Amino acid sequence: MHGLWKYFEENNEIFAVLVAFLAIGGGLLGSVIGAKIQANGGRDQAAAAREAAQIAAEAQRVAALWTVRHVLTAEFIQLVRERAEAAHRLYSENDADGTVQARIDQAGHAVLRKAAEIELIVPSPVMRAAEDMIRALDKFAATSRVAGPAQYLRVVIGEAMWCGDPAHVELAGRARTSLGELGAAAVSGDTETKVRALAAADEALRAAVADITDAQAQAAVAEAMGGREWLDRKRGDEEQVTVCLDTLVAAAREMLKSEGDVAPAVPPQRQRWRQAA
């Protein structure tokens, strides 16, 4: 080492060149290191920008999905209620022109179309509840097609019993009696008795209710032959519709997080060592 220093002392020009070379080399090395640091920082910034864009896009997707689920599911539930309400109207309105029944059928088609739409976007629990709802509605609508007009005619006949016109009162009483006899004949199992009672009930109904339609008369005799079966079926179907609707609403509220924060949940941004520093 001493010999090396002595060499440089004796050759100053070489030592000066060596110092200059080391200075230049050190500067270049510093530039390379600085550029490397700057490049890494640029990559981190670019990655952070990409991640922020992905988070924003995911938030927009979740928010859009929540909105579509909310709108379409609410529309489905409204259509369900409209069909149930239309079926109930058969028990209290004269549907001689078939307007109410047509509304029930139209509402049924609308419910099916809307179910096909929500099937693409809602989770499985909501779709299962929707399918159960459709089956319950179909069953209630089928029961109402018979029990509805029959009950309406019973109300009409009951009111005629108190109309004050002796002739109308007699006809209404005969219709009521004939329906009761038809129910007893149906239970007896005797075919001949049943046929006679059926003909008598049909005739008495048409005499008591001037504007009765064939569909209404058929519904009345069918209900009379079924006895309490139709009443029990109506009550059971109504209860099932209520239960299914409550289940559907509960599943929809769970899907939409109605009891809590409805803000879209997005993944947290990844922390980088430069941010933590």
CA distance 81 to 129: 15
Domain count of the chain? 1
| Candidate ranges 103-117, 157-171, 218-232, 262-276; pick with highest mean pLDDT | 103-117
Condensed to tens digits (0 to 9), the pLDDT of residues 74-98 reads 999 999 999 999 999 999 999 999 9
Q: Which domain holds residue 178?
A: 45-259
Q: Is residue 53 part of a domain?
A: yes
Q: Is residue 73 part of a domain?
A: yes
pLDDT value at 2 more than 80: no
Q: Is residue 237 part of a domain?
A: yes
Q: Is residue 14 part of a domain?
A: no
* Cα R_g (the chain), whole angstroms: 42
Q: Is residue 8 part of a domain?
A: no
CA distance 106 to 154: 27
DSSP string, 82-133: HHHHHHHHTTTS--TTSHHHHHHHHHHHHHHHHHHHHTTTS-HHHHHHHHHH
pLDDT value at 112 more than 70: yes
Angle between helical axes of 124-160 and 191-208 (0-180°, round to 10) = 70
